[in-house]
Amino acid sequence: MIKRPNLMLNNKVYEITPSLLNSWLYLYNCYEGQEILAKESFLNALNRVKTPTNEAQQAGIDFENKCYAGVVAPETEEIIKIITGGTYQMSVKKIIKVNDLNIMLYGRFDCVKGDTIYDIKKSMSSYYTANKYFHTAQQSIYLELLPKAKKLIYLFNDKNGSTYQEQYNREDVRSAESLIRAFIEDLKLQNLYNLFLEKWEIKDL
């Protein structure tokens, strides 16, 4: 069920996804020398350019599916123990008001167990580094979507198959409204706001 504020029937609604916000945040947190690629990636995301699933993304999908299915292996065993008994791939939508816009948020949680959202990450090429997901939008959006959740924990499995946990408590996470307001203001500064309105309006709500 979609949660809605009191909206006039003719009010427009715009979608914002964690991946769109992440591509925007990466503009300001990318590695030195990656600025041009970060801008290109963000513009592609803003324009909703479809890109095929790459090898790394597919590996992540395959790894998650093994965890959901309980396929025990050295690299999945720890995660399976953590998520067993939870609800997998729960989808939630919610409309919030930000400034004068009605914003539709959407999330699909890898696992919800008790008061915790778990998000599974797999890397075939990198090791874990502290605060790896600090500059991401997922915790802000997911905790907005699921009010009963007190925290989000990333379960990161690195290139060697070792698993690390990175936890974000609700009280320490930037609110979704604050994050989206900053995103909108930055779009205006970059003269990209009208493009967002055009590309991200939900036509068939």
The whole-number pLDDT of residue 204 equals 82
Instruction: Record the tokens describing residue 55, joined without a space.
Output: 């090898």
- On whether the 13-200 domain is CATH 3.40.50, my answer is no
For the chain, the structural domain boundaries read 13-200
pLDDT per residue of the chain (205 residues) written in tens, 0 to 9: 455 555 444 589 999 999 999 999 999 999 899 999 999 999 999 999 998 889 999 999 999 999 999 999 999 999 999 999 999 999 999 999 999 999 999 999 999 999 999 999 999 999 999 999 999 999 999 999 999 999 999 999 999 999 999 999 999 999 999 999 999 999 999 999 999 999 999 988 7
154 and 132 in contact (C-beta within 8 Å)? yes
The whole-number pLDDT of residue 8 equals 44
46 and 195 in contact (C-beta within 8 Å)? yes
Q: Name residues whose C-beta falls within 8 Å of residue 183's C-beta, 6 or more positions apart in sequence.
A: 16, 21, 24
112 and 143 in contact (C-beta within 8 Å)? no
